[in-house]
Amino acid sequence: MDLHFENIRREYSKRSLSAKDMPASPFDLVTRWLQDAVETKTYEPTAVIVGTATPDGRPSTRTVLLKEFLNGEFVFYSNYESRKGQQMAANPHVCLTFLWHELERQIHVEGEVRILEPEQSDAYFAMRPYKSRVGARISPQSRPIPGRTF
């Protein structure tokens, strides 16, 4: 089947962005766009694609949920033993991409990750639903599992 991807095209006309629309701090725009995504009930408004790489440059991406945006820092949580966690420990350079199709907007950020204070991670973990905490504890992150039965 020939899908002719080159013919798939649409006009993006819902919104525009010009230099005059830019606030003094780009983080103000991030805050505004995150608010817009939440208020318009965009599907998964806090979903962000995280790109990491091994020390020798092999890239990897996955989607996580942003849990906080404060003082120009994007907070998400990850299991330290996952492939993502191991890559960030070995190479702290990451990128984040928010993509809101419904709003015809995206934001791309590059920077370095840092580990939060244990108290902050523990507080987040404690507020997760019980089944989510159990799943996080027993799941062998980023490793194949033999099956769903015990």
Per-residue pLDDT reduced to its tens digit, 4-30: 888 888 888 887 788 888 899 999 999
Q: What is the DSSP letter of 127?
A: H
Q: What is the pLDDT of residues 59-116, one digit of tens each?
A: 999 999 999 998 899 999 888 888 899 999 999 999 999 999 999 999 999 999 999 8
Q: Show Cβ contacts of residue 113 under 8 Å, excluding neighbours closer than 6 positions.
A: 88, 92, 94
Global pTM reads 0.81
Could you give the C-alpha distances from 42 to 49, 53, 68, 74, 105, in angstroms and in order? 16, 29, 17, 19, 11
Q: Report pLDDT for 3.
A: 80
User: What pLDDT score was predicted for residue 6?
Assistant: 85
d(CA 23, CA 46): 21
Domains of the chain with bracketed CATH: 24-116 (2.30.110.10)
- Cβ neighbors of 138 (< 8 A, separation 6 or more) are none
